[in-house]
Each structure stands twice: as C-alpha cells, then as structure tokens.
Structure 1
C-alpha cells in the first residue's frame, strides 16, 4: 500500500519506537497511499498522498501530537473525490524532519508555501483540525490565493484562548497516567481512538526531541486572531465545533467566528468533542464534501 522514501533520520530509542508506532497506525489507512518526503527550507516534510492523481488537491493538517495518521476514518470518503495530501506539520511529533524551525506565524506560512510548491499545487482545498486548524487560518490570511476554501475543525485558539484546564492536562502528559487523564478529559466516554493509534499518541508524548518541541514564540502559536484579521478573511470558511469541546467554550467560539469572519458557515456537531473528525467521521466527511462542492 505504501511507497516509503528512504530517508532515515537520526533517532533516539524513543524516536525509533515512535516511527514504528506511526507505521502501525498507517496500517489503519483504508485506501492505497504513497508516503514520501518533500524538501522545504525548514527541513524534510513527510506526506501521505491518496486518491486519483488527476483529482483536485485537498491538503489535510492534523492536530498536535496526532500526526497525519489521524485521518484514517476520513480518508476513504475524501480520497474518492480529491487527491489528498496529509501533511505532517514540521516541528510537531510526526515523521517530518525539521532542520530550521519556522517558529513564527510567517515562517509556518512560508513552510506550507514550500510544500505546495514541491507538490505542484497552485490552489487547494484545506482541512485542518486543532493545531492544523490554526495553521489553516494562518495560511488563509497570509496566502489566500493558494486556498480554494477551507474547513477548520476544533481549531486550537484561533477564536478564543485555551481554557486553563488545557494547560493543566497538557503539562501533565508525561506523568504517570498523564496520557490517559488527558484523553479522558478531552473525550470522556466518547474515546474512539483505535488502540494502535492510541499507542502512537502515547509514543509521541514520550518521545523527547528538542527539534519537535518548539518553544513558545511571541510571534508564533498558539494564537488568537484579532478582530481585524478575522474580518480580512477572503476565502470561504467552514467551521465545525463539537458540543462537548473542552479546550474553550464552543458556543462562544462560534459566536466570535460568525461575528467577524465574512460569510463563514459555522456549526456545532452533536455528540462530538474536540477530535470530531474521529468521533463523528461519517457526518464530518459528508459535511466537508458538501461545503467543498459548492
């Protein structure tokens, strides 16, 4: 099913364990894929491509610590219509290999522009969840000519600051039961993570790698966009939030987005929390396709 690039990064034992767990998660990918690297000025970026090569492009940007393998419940439906490119965000825990971290908002947009150029993408649809949703909004504001339209799912900050509980649980991830406590807080009894994927998440948390844990930057992420920035959006946006979101109040996020982003379509999905693409994949898959087909 795969075509792996021969790149072999210099990894610690925990990094090797993580790469093995990543490959096991890719075993959940239900359609044919090609896995490869492209070069950017910030390092080697790992990509999982699926779908017809001549179909319109759809770029997927994952949540923090989840990697591109998180899209396994969505990729079959989306790859039926699009050439999907699930991109491992450089600097996060995944298979991308950072050389020079692009820690600023402008730098991250430049990184994604490099990826688009390497893939030969003139203009693409984009789906981003959590950290990937934040990257998507940043890219929409900095390179709108490259974005057909965008679906932003449970974005990290973007519209509202994180609830203080987020930092409490995130900072405790590496403690005993930290991963389990974090997932229980985020998903409660809706935890739908496949055991193989859950193991990859745990391995990513335990993989201590300075290049893949960028330090906070005053001009970086996380970030809440200003009213004027949101008003300047020129790309059609779909915002999906879960009714059980815990990183901030979803109703307040929806209200702020609807108030300032021109023409945004925004809704709150029932029986879903932060990782709504995995919690309600059938609905999310169809809703995104409907939006992109307009």
Structure 2
C-alpha cells in the first residue's frame, strides 16, 4: 500500500508541476466560468451556516486579493482562523458562534485554493505564504492576536510562529497536517489523493468517512461546497511543499500553543503529540475521543470548549 501511496503522490506531483507553470490561479482551479460560478454560489450558501452577523472584505496583497470574513465584537481580542485544505473559511460554521462570542474574528481564505481569495502570482513559496498573511495582519493592524489553524491551516500557523518577532499570541492547532511528522496512516489517506486525481462523489464520500468519525454531522450545504472544491482543485502543488518542521524550528516557537487531535485521526497520532511536547516549550496537548481529522465537526462542542478554555487563561 505504501507503494501505491508513493505512486499517487508522484502522480499528484506531476499534475501539480504542470499547473505551477500557469500564472493565474483561475488557470488551474476553475477551468470555466460556469465552474467558478457554481463554486462561488455554494460558498455563499455555506457561509450562511455561520448564522451570526458577518462581513466580507477583500484585502490587496503582493500576490493577489485576500478574502477575509469578519465577525464578533470589535472591542474584543482579535482571533485569526486558518482553514484546512480546500475547506475555505466556511468550514468554521460549527465553531464560529462560540469563537466569536468573546473575540473579533478574522477568517482568511488561503490564496492558493478554491475560495474567494484570488491569486494573481505564481504559486507561493513557504516564505511568500508568510508574507501573504503578514500583509493581511498589517492591513488590519493586528498585534498580540490569537490564531486557530486546522489541518493545513495548522501547518501555516506553525510556519508563522517560527518567524522572528511574529505578532501572534496564543496558537491552537487542530490536527495540524505534516507539522510534527508525516501522515500517520497513508493507507487510510490514499482516498484523498485518489479524489484529487480522479474526483467523483463516490470517492468524496469515502474520503469523508476516512477523515471523519461522524460524517453524518457535516451539513449537506457545506458538503456541496467542499466537494466542488475538491473537484476543481485537481492540482495543489503547495501540499507537496509541506514538510514537518525541524527540531530547531519547533524549539524557536515561543507562543503558548494548544494541539488538539482526534483519537481516530488519520493524519496525527500520539507520536505527533510527543514530538510537539518535546520541542515546543509552551505547549498543551489534548486527544479528543470519538473524533477524526475533522474534529471541529466530529466533536464540535468539546473542541470549542477546549479552545475557549485555552484562550481564556
């Protein structure tokens, strides 16, 4: 099975390499205007699942336009949300009411994925990803703010934490991908690679079952958007650049950090938590029962309570 996983990874690399030669985001995500329209419609419907007042803004960066969804009281502490791969900022619908109660929330769409951000440059390097987010932070004059990153968003939050003089305060990682070690169960995650290469609703449902202990909890409205994201984002070269951080990089992190994983996570395991505790000086780790990689949906209340308790103290 490992050989199959390697072959799939190579195939994905070849597809992504071809895509990376393009100069515009639309060239390798939305092949037609109808695809883009279908996705944007699904995004708007999914965002309504937040069920709280929010505003949407576009911020100009050196690499294109960043889409930011803002909610919560203006006089509370700032909180940045970094979503998982192809999930977009709409993924926070099971959590946003709890998170926005005592925080001013800024949910940022990653610029190299299907969402409402718009990449006008070539695919970004890790250093450029950090610049992208720091330009947004500067635009909103964010300082000593908290951050929650899910999956790839957790990797990005960790990347930002390794930067000198980063402006963040507390950091929460929800099953961070490729952050402390490589994928824990490649056999079970092979469905996600197959979905990328040969998208279909059947493969999509299989992937959800692999990554979630309670796929029935996922809103059909959100599932539609998430499926279209996976269908159109067939190439994702940035995923191949995500590697676990070195011992020295992890030791350099001075921010208080909380790492949450599900007990049935296909991305992380006890080994991930042990390495995190070994090298990050100010860290708490929690394993949530009956939860998979999508723990923010699988066990939303438990996850929300753990986050709020950490951010409060």
Q: Does 1:92 align with 2:92?
A: no
Which residue among 40, 45, 68 is the counterpart of 1:24? 45
Question: Residue 35 of structure 1 corresponds to which residue in structure 2?
Answer: 56
User: What's 1:4 paired with?
Assistant: none
For the pair 1:283 / 2:295, whether they are aligned, the reply is no
Q: CA deviation at 1:265?
A: 0.4
CA RMSD, aligned part only? 1.9
C-alpha change, 1:99 and 1:42, in structure 2 (3 Å) is same
- The reply on whether 1:60 has 2:81 as its aligned counterpart is yes
Q: Structure 2: 5+ residue runs without aligned partners?
A: 1-25
Match of 2:287 among 256, 268, 283: 268
In structure 2, what is the equivalent of residue 232 of structure 1?
A: 252
Q: For 2:123 and 2:177, how far apart are their aligned partners in 1?
A: 18
The verdict on how the C-alpha distance between 1:154 and 1:232 changes in structure 2, with shifts beyond 3 A counting, is same
SS at match of 1:142: coil
Which moved further from structure 2: 114-123 or 162-171? 162-171
SS of residue paired to 1:288: helix
Residue 38 of structure 2 aligns to a residue whose secondary structure is helix
TM-score by length of 2: 0.84
1:215 aligns with 2:240: no
**Contact 1:144/1:234, CA 8 A, preserved across alignment:** no
Could you tell me which residue of structure 1 aligns to residue 176 of structure 2?
155
Rounded Cα–Cα distance in structure 2 between residues aligned with 1:226 and 1:192: 36
2:221 is the counterpart of 1:196: yes
Contact 1:42-1:102 within 8 A present in 2 as well: no
* Structure richer in helix, relative to its length: 2
Task: State the alpha-carbon separation in 1 of the partners of residues 136 and 120 from structure 2.
Answer: 15
CA separation in 1, counterparts of 2:164 and 2:112? 21
Distance (whole Å) between structure 2 residues aligned to residue 135 and residue 100 of structure 1: 19
Asked if 1 retains the 8 angstrom alpha-carbon contact of 2:260 and 2:287, the reply is yes
What's the CA shift string for 1:201-222, capped at 9, x where partnerless? Answer: 111112257xxx44258xx731
Give 1:46-57 correspondences, 5 Å limit: 46-57=67-78
Q: Would you say the 8 A contact 1:102–1:108 is kept in 2? A: no
Please state whether the residue corresponding to 2:36 is helix, strand or coil: helix
Task: Please give the alpha-carbon distance, in whole angstroms, between the structure 2 residues aligned to 1:175 and 1:190.
Answer: 18
Give distance in 1, aligned partners of 2:43 and 2:130. Answer: 25
The count of corresponding residues between Structure 1 and Structure 2 is 280
Q: What do the CA deviations read for 1:156-214 (whole angstroms, capped 9, x no partner)?
A: 110010132365212211343111111111125554210000000111112257xxx44
CA distance in 2 between partners of 1:58 and 1:129 (Å): 14
Q: 1:269 to 1:205 in 2, by over 3 A?
A: same
Measured in 2, the distance between the counterparts of 1:144 and 1:278 equals: 33
Equivalent position of 2:140 in the other structure? 119
Tell me, in whole angstroms, the C-alpha distance in 2 between the residues paired with 1:61 and 1:193.
Answer: 19
Are 1:12 and 2:33 matched, yes or no? yes
Q: Distance in 2 between matches of 1:247 and 1:46?
A: 28
Residues 226, 149 of structure 1: CA spacing in aligned structure 2 closer, same or farther, 3 A cutoff?
Answer: same
